[in-house]
Structure 1
Amino acid sequence: MDTTGDELYDADPDADADDDDDEDVTIRAEPQPELEDEEVDDDDTPEVADDGEDEEDDGSETDEETTIQLRDKVEREEIESEFAELIAAVPRIAQEYALLDRLGTGTFSSVYKARDLRQAEYDNSLWITPDIRNSEFVAIKRIYVTSSPDRISNEIFILAEVAGCRNVAQLITAFRERDQVVAVMPYHRNVDFRTYYQKLPIVGIQSYFRCLFRALRDIHARGIVHRDVKPANFLFDPRSGNGVLVDFGLAMHVSSQSSTGCNHSSPTAEFPHGRFLDLEDTWQHTLRRARREARARKALPSDKVGYPADDHRPVSKANRAGTRGFRAPEVLLKCDDQSGAIDVWAAGTVLMFFLTQRFPLYSASDDVEALMELAAIIGYKAMERVAILHNRTFLTNVPMSDEGIPWREFAILLNPSLDDPDGEPERSEALEDALDFVEKCLEPQAPTRMTAREALYHPFLREDGAEYTLEEDDDELCVRPPGDGICGHLHRRDEVTGEWCVIVRGEGDQERVVQLAVGEGLCVGREPCSFHADLFPAPAVEE
């Protein structure tokens, strides 16, 4: 995998190639000049992208069309052959798009950069965001027939549901030709994570995580968990400070089970990551006894510790999607009632890359080894408590500390410069906030892990002098889904189709029901949606 240029909709090369739940897409970065040290100012925020009117931007737009020419002959011919195959399978592509280059390819899909030949004929306001320098460029994702129909439809429907969410890749259109499914999304310029994670200034890291947690807050508000948050699925441009969350191939809706096999509740609006259950005395006694027995077995010979090779106990099944090194403890322990907390954990892992200057951070080859790596950091007792929370028993005779080490100390251990950041007061304060932030993201027990909304309140992500203050906070800017917000009581789902509708007033104050199109009926902050703006007039502004 190249280490420069753009990447899109990919899975990390360290992803589990043998996991049925993982979408393993390898991305080849586009050939372009490597990000130089001087291009990211250590004293200022990342430079905001220009509007494309000067000569440099015009040149960069031309480069976007000719990146394929920078590849070697063999690779160019391979990509051009893929172009021909795609056009033969989906003739509509040639009529509406000019294929320019390949952005990524993998087991379940390939992604291509293209120019939209009919862009001017459509209303593009729903998906154009400030970081899109030229809206004619798009990313065309060809989903292979190796994907199950349920998986394909799930991804398309979720992309439609996240319409309007901040810092999230928007679905422009999708269409099918026989067994071929194509999704078209905006093209976002970005840089390979490996080229900047060791030299991005603290203000750039803050921009990275503001964008990421805005995306997570908005999709979690819709009851959607991404399940594969990692650098390869968050396209960030250090020059502009803009980032976009992509690849919802593994995303799912959170469940609201009345009872689970764990000792925590399902996620709710009040408790987005669930809450600890009040257990009966008899059940608490059972858990304590299981823990005592596990501790006693630690002292036994090695052949008595672990589980038999011919194990006849029922297999515990649960969603374990994601990529090795980013899975939260509840995923590794096969919790069957996961929440947006797994995305927050993965985001905290990404922050550890920045803080420790190491990527990847873990080297486990399977989930058991991953649990051992985490236990070696957080300690045996903490891992015991996490296991009990998910109705599991943690047992190992591998020597490790009972108490472990806090994440902040672990980060400093791997990167001692964090303890003396050049003596700059502002940078020292920001790094202190970052260390506290990562501690809250990597809380082993999901119910007490920081939520995406709480993350945007944290001092590490506070923007001094920006468009909102800490008091107004992100509530003023979050994009609320239909059914939420100040006019949510005027939204309802159609009893037959399940689609969202709104109640509006017609002539003579007669009420009528209007079905919402994708991206409609969204409330921003405390403002009503566009259908009900006249019912909730804005308060008068004092001069």
Structure 2
Amino acid sequence: MEAAPTGQRSSHQSVEKGRSRHKIPRDVETDIAYLYEVLPQLSRIFRIIDKIGEGTFSTVYLAEAQMTDGSRRMFALKHLIPTSHPVRIAAELQCLTVAGGTENVMGVTYCFRKEHHVVIVMPYMEHQTFVDIVGSLSFEDVKHYIFHLLKALRHIHKFGIIHRDIKPTNFLFNQQRREYSLVDFGLAQGTPDTQIELLKELLGLDKAPRSVFGEKNINGTNSHKPGTDKVEGLLLKTKREEVIPRKIVSSKHRSVPVRTPLNQKPKAPAVSPMLTCNCFMTDRVCNICLSRKQQVAPRAGTPGFRAPEVLTKCPNQGTAIDMWSAGVILLSLLSGRYPFFKASDDLIALTQIMTIRGSRETKEAAKTFGKSIVCSRELPRLDLRILCETLRGLRSWDDASLPAEFQASRNPAEVKQDAGSPARKRMSSGSLRSIAELQEMGWDKAPDDVYDLLDKLLDLNPATRITASMALQHPLFKDMTV
């Protein structure tokens, strides 16, 4: 990156100059001023314009810089939260530098660091918000979208990178230019044979014990340990001020209280691991459940996009979890419904998956990775084409016979009109478009191939779920260059 210094300016002047061109909220102004304060070197190169994204572990800003040739370019500045573990930060940078910049994967331009504040500078890609366009995309748009997402996944999986947070907001899309970019490797892990050295470090960190009900968050501790010199080596390649390691005390897991006589230590329940749990569907926790060992398994990702093996805390998770998430995105694109799955916890999320894929099939798949699922009632497997076409508005709700869970997706106006005009032009709950409009967008000619690919992406068994390389060879993409 060759940017001409813009001259030292105060934080207040920088923000005011930004406001003159783009009106921003007062709280965003405060955040920008704070970023200039903690990383003063930013003000010599960038004029931060706005906050364009905010997540659990980072905040993203839009900034402008004047290049040495006199031109002005836009950049995305990702400010990582101060408690981020140094190995996690360096691993994200290594993913971007090794795998980024090609095949629809975002690259890195620069990195700033002062003490525990880190800002990753990336090219800014103008893009549309997924929720605003999901109902307006033609079938051809959807075909290109999923094709380019699969290309990005094939590329990072080749390096042994598991993204772990595939979702529309992490796959930027410019509809007019048909440009795509996979971003945010903050939760990435490595496969056993990963080519990203620092992801191997994370494998060791993620194996520490944690509660079965919670996820170990290595971003919550930042103590300097032997072996993190690789981290310093990578970060030293960027211009920064001296790093001051910090120690943060992490909270301990809470244990289940057990009543015992005074001055007597509680004994571990003596039960056989082969016994069947007897507290199912009761309001108590039995000794068998209390005696079980804590399960250690990554559980990162965004609710609604987590694969079944993540929801059931399977310890052996691979690149297949990214493929499941890609399948959920395709399910939204084909149905016009976003988000498709919306659950408050993992059990409800698993139930929603059963509603689509069937309870018997889900239980059978769970057995293949050593998990047992109990379902109170039988849920049939749904036909994916009928499901998507009904939600989009190409089929009658009366003809589809979908479960009651999907009745909430219906447009209230549609329900009212159903009684008086059964043959009317139906509207999709996701896109609210007429049959004529949907036909013009090519949705009435969507081939069986796309639903076959969807079925393979949403394979409940990660061992047989289609890979990105195999998906790109699918007949759906026979007229596209891989």
Match in the other structure for 2:307: 328
Q: Are residues 199 and 174 of structure 1, via their aligned partners in 2, closer, same or farther at CA, if it must alter by over 3 Å?
A: same
CA 1:305–1:406 in structure 2 vs 1: closer, same or farther (change >3 Å)?
farther
Residue 181 of structure 1: aligned partner:
118
Match of 2:468 in 1: 452
Counterpart of 1:91 in structure 2 is: 40
Return the alpha-carbon distance in structure 2 between the equivalents of residues 135 and 311 of structure 1.
61
Distance 1:413 1:160, change over 3 A: same
Structure 2 vs 1, CA of residues 148 and 68 (structure 1 numbering), >3 Å: closer, same or farther? farther
Return the offset for 1:377.
Answer: 2.3
Counting only pairs closer than 5 Å after superposition, residues 520-535 of structure 1 correspond to structure 2 as none
1:239 correspondence with 2:176: yes
Deviation at 1:404, TM superposition (A): 2.0
* SS of the residue 1:99 aligns to: strand
1:415 equivalenced with 2:364 (yes/no) = no
The answer as to whether partners of 2:101 and 2:108 remain within 8 angstroms in 1 is: no
Q: Which TM-score applies when normalising by structure 2?
A: 0.65
Residues 1:229 and 2:208 aligned together: no
Partner of 1:110, secondary structure, is strand
Contact 2:60/2:78, CA 8 A, preserved across alignment: yes
Shift in CA distance, 185/454, structure 1 to aligned 2, threshold 3 Å? same
> Which residue of 417, 430, 445 maps to 2:446?
430
Letter of the 2:131 counterpart: R
The answer on whether the counterparts of 1:96 and 1:118 sit within 8 Å (CA) in structure 2 is no
Residues 3-26 of structure 1 deviation map (CA, whole Å, 9 limit, x = unaligned): xxxxxxxxxxxxxxxxxxxxxxxx
Structure 1 CA distance, aligned partners of 2:281 and 2:121?
Answer: 55
Instruction: Give the Cα–Cα distance (whole angstroms) in 2 for the partners of residues 162 and 406 of structure 1.
Output: 37
Q: Does the CA-based 8 Å contact 2:139-2:442 persist in structure 1? A: no
Q: Deviations over 1:199-258 (max 9, x none)?
A: 11111111211221111110000000111011111111111111111111001111259x
1:388 to 1:186, Cα distance in 2 relative to 1, 3 A: same
Q: 1:439 to 1:308 in 2, by over 3 A?
A: farther
| Alpha-carbon distance in 1 for matches of 2:301, 2:143 | 24
Any gaps of 5 or more consecutive residues in structure 2?
Answer: 1-16, 195-274, 397-434
| Equivalent residue number for residue 338 of structure 2 | 359
Alignment of 1:336-375 (within 5 A): 336-375=315-354
State the match for 1:205 in structure 2. 142
The letter for the 1-side match of 2:344 is: S
CA contact (8 A) 1:140 1:182 kept: yes
- Aligned in 2, Cα 1:67/1:325: closer, same or farther, shift over 3 Å? farther
Find the counterpart in structure 2 of residue 400 from structure 1: 378
Can you give the 5+ residue segments of structure 1 that lack an aligned partner in the other structure? 1-64, 122-133, 258-292, 469-473, 475-543
Q: Which amino acid aligns with 1:314?
A: K
CA distance, structure 2, for counterparts of residue 393 and residue 78 of structure 1: 48
Q: Note if contact 1:345-1:441 (Cα within 8 Å) is conserved in structure 2.
A: yes
1:78 deviates by 2.7
User: Does the CA-based 8 Å contact 2:314-2:371 persist in structure 1?
Assistant: no
Aligned runs of 1:181-330 on 2, under 5 Å?
181-255=118-192, 302-303=281-282, 311-330=290-309
Cα distance in 2 between the residues matched to 1:91 and 1:359: 40
For residue 167 of structure 1, the aligned residue among 82, 104, 111 is 104
Alignment of 1:373-388 (within 5 A): 373-388=352-367
Contact 2:335–2:388 (Cα < 8 Å) also in 1: yes
Q: Partner of 2:291: helix, strand, or coil?
A: coil
Contact 2:65 2:75 in 1 (8 A): yes
Cα deviation code 1:417-462 (max 9, x no counterpart): 1698966897544343322221111011112111111221223334
What residue identity is the alignment partner of 1:384?
A: K
Alignment deviations for residues 452-501 of structure 1 (CA, whole Å, 9 cap, x no partner):
1122122333445xxx3xxxxx2xxxxxxxxxxxxxxxxxxxxxxxxxxx
Identity of aligned residues (%): 32
The superposition leaves residues 333-355 of structure 1 with CA deviations (integer Å, 9 ceiling, x where unpaired) of 21222111111111110111122
Kindly indicate whether the alpha-carbon contact (under 8 Å) linking 1:164 and 1:170 is maintained by their aligned counterparts in 2.
Answer: yes
The alpha-carbon deviation at position 160 of structure 1 amounts to: 1.7
CA distance in 2, matches of 1:92, 1:413: 54
Note closer, same or farther for the CA distance 1:187–1:418 as it changes in structure 2 (3 Å cut).
farther
Q: Shift of residue 68 of structure 1?
A: 7.8
Shift of 1:69: 4.6
**Structure 1 pair 306/423, CA: closer, same or farther in 2 (3 Å)?**
farther
State whether structure 2 residue 131 is matched by structure 1 residue 115: no
Once superposed, what is the RMSD of the aligned Cα atoms? 3.2
- What CA distance in whole angstroms lies between the structure 1 residues aligned with 2:19 and 2:456? 41
Is residue 255–residue 337 contact of structure 1 (8 Å, CA) maintained in 2? no
Q: What's the secondary structure of 2:317's corresponding residue?
A: coil
What's the CA shift string for 1:382-424, capped at 9, x where partnerless? Answer: 1121211111111132x223x5224334323433516989668
Aligned length: 348
**2:50, 2:63 within 8 Å by CA — same for their partners in 1?**
yes
Q: Secondary structure at the match of 1:114?
A: strand
Distance in 2 between the 1:356 and 1:423 partners?
14
Amino acid across the alignment from 1:440: K
Contact preservation (8 Å) 1:202, 1:431: no
1:68–1:101 Cα contact (<8 Å) kept: no
